[in-house]
Amino acid sequence: MPRMTGKEALVEMLRSEGVKFIFGNPGTTELPFMNALENAEDLVYINTLFEGVAAGMADGYARITQKPSFMNFHISVGVSNSIAVMYNSWRGGTPMVITSGQAPIGLQLHNPTLYSNMVNVMREYTKWAGEITTASDVPSIIRRAFKIASTPPTGPVFVSLAWDSMNQEADVDIVPSVDHYYRILPDPQAIAQASQYLARAQNPIILIGDRVSQSPGAPLEVASIAEKLGAPVYATSFSEVHIPSSHPHYMGTFDTSWLHRHMKRRFDEADVVLAVGTELMVQSMPTPEPPFSGKPKIIHVDCSDWDIQRSYPISAGVLGDIQASLNQLSVALDDSMTGTDKLNSRARCRTITQTNKQKREAFLSLAQERWDHVPMSPERFAMELRSALPADVLICDDSITVRSALLGALDFDEPGTLVGGRGGSLGFGMGATLGMKLASPQRPVVGIIGDGTAMFTIQALWTAANYNIPVTYVMC
């Protein structure tokens, strides 16, 4: 095994993991890492004026590449500054590795300047958090960090880099993490049980969430299942393309924080609810009645064991890779559905298609009605934007109050063309737009940013100018 310092081993591990960009804002405790990067011209450190910008860039970059991004912040205060934006990444499951320098081990009990137990703090907002204290641990812990971040359900990981670990020498083995082994097939008995409930459904609905798009191929499987069941599809979050949004069965998003009476009625009418890749009905405040007081049979398909029957009782659960699970469920439905079931499904499909057409016509009618409003209506803004955007554009949606009109006017059918806010914290979009462009430099990238959320991370303009990252921001 080669012998090198911990900081050199960190650089080599980043190379082995395919890292191209480091998003951050360093300080004195990061000097060893900065020193090692001087001779690593293939690793580009994107310096930001504010850590929230770096966190947004890392989020946008990871969601386009579908690989963990890498961040490096200053001890304690720098890490803390990133949390407001990184919170969205934690709630949405963005794969990323966050690092920061840490005080020397021998000084930590003497409470040196800026010292804090960052591992304890970051455990709240990550899948895993730990600290490297010796150079020999650098390869194994960095490998572990990338493995945990990229294993479904994906999410952020934090690693503290003690000063000693960066400057010591050790014999190390530079080997990257191995991915793709975690696309696990579901239990056949679970698939069979779920298909029986769904095949007999008379009024099924499908609820989809953020983890759908994290499984390659799953959005098209959602569309296929919807057609087979004759079920409308509603998104608890449409921060990415979880189903082609022009699909006739896709009925849009709804607010889970306070369930609108229209959706409550829809839930009450359903006899079976198929939930896919979603935190099922996370509410920020109690409603007079629970969402599922109509007692539908709930079938939950997910890669997250924590979320299946976390808050609501279910009739069947399917744990596994979402695309593989839906594919097997579709095959099982072919055998489970009788001729009568299929006739009933086709009748429901016709009704859903007509309802979807009426919904789209209602939006266009509303846009026309409000066309000459002053100030400009959200509907006209979205329609004018649609006519101006290039066909191959990638959109970062941090539009907040204009989001409903934006999703009504634009169709997002290609996975990877939409990156939207999730988690509820403001300020991610300015940076995320830049990260998306670095991940896909050959395509135009447009950030549609609310004027209020832009103020949280307006420093992104400095980064865009200084690193010559050509994006377009549209403020609304």
* 257 has a pLDDT exceeding 80: no
CA atoms within 13 A on the CB side of 95: 23
Residue-level pLDDT at 282: 80
* 285 has a pLDDT exceeding 90: no
Asked if residues 298 and 314 have their Cβ atoms less than 8 Å apart, the reply is yes
Residue-level pLDDT at 251: 96
Rg, Å, the chain Cα set: 24
Residue-level pLDDT at 292: 86
**pTM of the model as a whole:** 0.96
Q: What is the pLDDT of residues 149-163, one digit of tens each?
A: 999 999 999 999 999
Q: What is the pLDDT of residues 439-470, one digit of tens each?
A: 999 999 999 999 999 999 999 999 999 999 99
| Whole-number Å distance between alpha carbons of 305 and 300 | 10
Q: What is the pLDDT of residues 412-432, one digit of tens each?
A: 999 999 999 988 899 999 999
Mean pLDDT of 7-29: 97
CA dihedral (256, 260, 261, 267) positive or negative: negative
Asked if residues 206 and 220 have their Cβ atoms less than 8 Å apart, the reply is no
* 287 has a pLDDT exceeding 80: no
| Whole-number Å distance between alpha carbons of 308 and 187 | 14
- Identify residue 105 by its one-letter amino acid code: I
Q: Among residues 10, 17, 58, 15, which one has the least CA distance to residue 32?
A: 10
Mean pLDDT of 34-39: 95
| Whole-number Å distance between alpha carbons of 101 and 222 | 43
Residue-level pLDDT at 347: 96
* 171 has a pLDDT exceeding 80: yes
How far is the CA of 380 from the CAs of 45, 365, 394, 401, 476, in angstroms?
40, 11, 21, 14, 12
The set of residues, in sequence order, having a beta carbon less than 8 Å from that of 192 and lying 6+ positions away, is: 332
Residue-level pLDDT at 183: 86
Q: How does strand 128-132 pair with strand 233-235?
A: unpaired
pLDDT averaged over the chain?
95
Paired residues of 61 in beta bridges: none
Percent of the chain's residues with pLDDT above 70 = 100
* 184 has a pLDDT exceeding 80: yes
